[in-house]
Structure 1
Amino acid sequence: MTKKINQTVLIVLLFAFGACQNTKQVKESKLHVIASSELQWTGVAVSQEGRVFVNYPKWSDKVPVSVAEIIDGKAIAYPNTNWNDSDKPDSFTAIQSVVVDKKDRLWILDTKNPQFKGVLESGPILYQFNLKTNQKEKAYAFPKGVFTANSYFNDVRIDTSKEIAYMTDSGNGAIIVLDLKSGKSRRLLDNHSSTENEVDSLICDGHKWKNSVHSDGIALSPDRKDLYYSALSGHSLYKISTATLVNEQLSDEQIAIEVKKVMTIPATDGMLFDKKGNLWLGGLEDNSINKIDANGKLVQVVQDDLVRWPDSFAEDKDGNIYFTTSQIYLPENLRQSYDIIRFKPE
């Protein structure tokens, strides 16, 4: 018993030490670093009350906590240490993203694929947490066939009007559609050209990052009529109507012909539609943040050395945009602290 308590305390201390407050404004920059960590994070989510959540992917053995809330600049295990103890049966395993939807529900996507060694027998799980009680409300599992042996469920968006979740599979390109009412899920656009990687490497800030990652970033249009997505290893932005994706009467071929290429974009990891209809994108190759405005024009908004692989995006109720820097392209010996950065779009 004493040994177990000591282990829990050690985890908390290690994790609290790994993140520290940093609210400084960078000189002559619109970027505010609100938190930093020695541990690599990917996803970021912001609630309607301004609570900030992050997740740490299980890409190595150095992941003492999977999901955390940033409180006073420090990362505190969320919802508690038990959920972040992978030795427990009902706990997080390999979290890739966190998202807060328009109903202020927190969604946590567990790939169940630690260190890319293959999906565990249980398969991926999408958790729904109640932010008022900090309790799990639901856990959605997926049958084999919807996930494959090397699946890596990456990002998720929630249509709160129809109660549908859309996810990308970046391990084996596809779009996953989950009916949150029935729990039924389907795998669509499996190995379609739009969900597969286009290149096998990117040159990011002078560093060659050699990898082939399929469908990754995903965004739901403000009117919920279209789903936008792209492969991480690529430069093409695609969209497809959500009416097509939820129509179970359509064949794979009928769904595929409804995919439309929107435009060529900078290589991006995550993406997000804001309240004004702008689609925010990263710029992995040149340390930038970009947007496609409501008129369809691609604009570079920020280019800054702080933007070291912008990974995921979130928006708060005041319209501030948040993103994480995961520095994936850099060798570990060249990485600096991982940041959560906030800025106010003009």
Structure 2
Amino acid sequence: MPASIELVAEFGHQVTGVSVSETGRIFVNFPRWTEDSAVSVAELRDGGLKPYPDEEWNAWRNAKKDEITPDDHWVCVQSVVADQRGSLWVLDPAAPAQAHVVSKGPKLVRIDLASDKVAQTIAFDEDAAPQGSYLNDVRFSQDGKYAFITDSGVRGALLVVDIAAGKAVRVLDGHPSTQMKKGLKVKLEGKELRRPDGRGVEFSADGIELSKDGDYLYWQAIKGDELYRIPTAALLGAGLKGEDVSGQVEQYGINGVNDGLLISRGTDDMYLTSVQDNAIKVRKLSDGPQAEAKFVVQDERLRWPDTFSQGPDGTVYVTTSHIQDSAFFKPDAPPALPTQLWKLRFAG
């Protein structure tokens, strides 16, 4: 079904993640990629941004990194996810500029939405988040006991997290399904996107989503065009034991170059942020690996559509992070990059 986009909010910083709680509260995050942003995680309230859960958690700065502890402050937040169970989870890879991982910084933090207080912090050691990692996005098992995380760093992987135990295990580390695809070129406006030093788009496993029944975990690399999946039973069984689960990975069709993934509630539709096309696409998972990804909306304002979230009323939201416009690829770009949050409006 065709759609249009409607502006929800504009930001003076580079946004990546968005999440909408079961009560309709909207949260966004701003990673420290090309600027030392004053706010990392915020709630969108009355048209403005309120640092979340408070100003203290947002007090860390690159310039004050030796003065502020990284384990209880946001360092470089990449993703926020409301679990629809009364909590907001914040994923902090703690790698400003997607470079050096700050010691004791990588973490997954649960905030109780009723009290707006941090309720749990799961710290990731160097086995889970080594140098070169960039923990990207997270999904939760249906029973809320486990988390699944993509690592889009130089050596892609998945993390499986036992939430109660605070234990994380790296799986599919270096497996082809989690890596950048050799020879693939990410093109925008007809030209390959490259940095001034010649490097192209170099993001490994990034987009992640769970099937409606929770039986399969899906993911893909940004520098890749193939969708992969694995039974969650394999991850929670052999995977958590540190055993090899690569034999249970299934290539599940061609998506093209995409960033965020979303399986819409109540359907088997998988939405895709098609970054090369300034577009949102959709494919029906029930049609199998051969299902074609079709355009939902294509709009020049969708400059690097990044992350999806779905509100309690079914509204689909998406951020535009303008990665191609950032100082990573355009050295003369302003460090405080204007970005947006949109929602989809379906015809009829």
Give the TM-score range, shorter chain: 0.7 to 0.9
Partner of 2:130: 148
- Cα deviation for residue 96 of structure 1 reads 0.4
In structure 2, distance between residues paired with 1:54 and 1:162: 22
Aligned with 2:147 (options 165, 171, 189): 165
Structure 1 stretch displaced more, 155-164 or 214-223 = 155-164
- Find the residue that maps to 2:258 and give its secondary structure: coil
1:340 partner amino acid: L
Partner of 2:197: none
Is the Cα–Cα contact under 8 Å of residues 102 and 160 in structure 1 kept in the other structure? no
- Cα deviation for residue 306 of structure 1 reads 1.4
Aligned with 2:56 (options 78, 82, 86): 82
Partner of 2:31: 57
Q: Residues 103-118 of structure 1 correspond to what in structure 2 (within 5 A)? A: 103-118=85-100
Aligned with 1:67 (options 37, 41, 62): 41
Structure 1 gap segments, 5+ residues each: 1-27
In structure 2, distance between residues paired with 1:263 and 1:255: 20
2:129 partner amino acid: F
In structure 1, distance between residues paired with 2:297 and 2:176: 30
Is the Cα–Cα contact under 8 Å of residues 155 and 218 in structure 1 kept in the other structure? yes
Backbone CA RMSD of aligned residues: 2.1
The count of residues paired between Structure 1 and Structure 2 equals: 319
- Cα deviation for residue 344 of structure 1 reads 3.9
Partner of 1:17: none
Q: Structure 1 residues 148 and 281, CA, compared in 2 at 3 Å: closer, same or farther?
A: same
Q: Structure 1 residues 222 and 149, CA, compared in 2 at 3 Å: closer, same or farther?
A: same
Structure 1 stretch displaced more, 203-212 or 321-330 = 203-212
1:183 partner amino acid: G
2:94 partner amino acid: K
Aligned with 1:219 (options 209, 218, 233): 209
1:300 correspondence with 2:301:
no
In structure 1, distance between residues paired with 2:242 and 2:283: 29
1:284 correspondence with 2:275:
yes
Partner of 2:340: 339
- Find the residue that maps to 1:269 and give its secondary structure: strand
In structure 2, distance between residues paired with 1:277 and 1:343: 18
Is the Cα–Cα contact under 8 Å of residues 320 and 342 in structure 1 kept in the other structure? yes
In structure 1, distance between residues paired with 2:272 and 2:242: 29
Partner of 2:234: 244
2:157 partner amino acid: A
In structure 1, distance between residues paired with 2:170 and 2:244: 14
- Cα deviation for residue 144 of structure 1 reads 2.1
- The alignment-based identity, stated in percent, is 34
- Find the residue that maps to 2:277 and give its secondary structure: coil
1:202 partner amino acid: V
Q: Tell me the alpha carbon deviations over residues 32-67 of structure 1, each in whole angstroms, 9 at most, x when there is no partner.
A: 101001211000000111111100011123411101
Aligned with 1:178 (options 131, 149, 161): 161
TM, length-normalised to structure 2? 0.86
Partner of 2:79: 97
Is the Cα–Cα contact under 8 Å of residues 266 and 282 in structure 1 kept in the other structure? no
Is the Cα–Cα contact under 8 Å of residues 3 and 345 in structure 2 kept in the other structure? no
Q: Structure 1 residues 306 and 333, CA, compared in 2 at 3 Å: closer, same or farther?
A: farther
In structure 2, distance between residues paired with 1:64 and 1:207: 33
Q: Tell me the alpha carbon deviations over residues 256-282 of structure 1, each in whole angstroms, 9 at most, x when there is no partner.
A: 011111011121111111102211111
1:244 partner amino acid: A
In structure 2, distance between residues paired with 1:232 and 1:187: 19
Q: Tell me the alpha carbon deviations over residues 285-315 of structure 1, each in whole angstroms, 9 at most, x when there is no partner.
A: 1111011225333221111111111100000
Is the Cα–Cα contact under 8 Å of residues 266 and 284 in structure 1 kept in the other structure? no
1:258 correspondence with 2:259:
no
TM, length-normalised to structure 1? 0.87
2:344 partner amino acid: F
- Cα deviation for residue 238 of structure 1 reads 0.3
In structure 1, distance between residues paired with 2:92 and 2:50: 19
Q: Tell me the alpha carbon deviations over residues 93-123 of structure 1, each in whole angstroms, 9 at most, x when there is no partner.
A: 1100001113131010011111223112215
Q: Tell me the alpha carbon deviations over residues 184-236 of structure 1, each in whole angstroms, 9 at most, x when there is no partner.
A: 11000000000000146310233432222110110011100000000010101
Partner of 2:307: 312
Q: Structure 1 residues 66 and 123, CA, compared in 2 at 3 Å: closer, same or farther?
A: closer
In structure 1, distance between residues paired with 2:178 and 2:163: 23
In structure 2, distance between residues paired with 1:342 and 1:44: 11
In structure 2, distance between residues paired with 1:29 and 1:272: 16
1:208 correspondence with 2:192:
yes
- Find the residue that maps to 1:137 and give its secondary structure: strand
Structure 1 stretch displaced more, 196-205 or 223-232 = 196-205
- Cα deviation for residue 143 of structure 1 reads 2.4
- Find the residue that maps to 1:270 and give its secondary structure: strand
- Find the residue that maps to 2:323 and give its secondary structure: coil
Is the Cα–Cα contact under 8 Å of residues 207 and 329 in structure 1 kept in the other structure? no
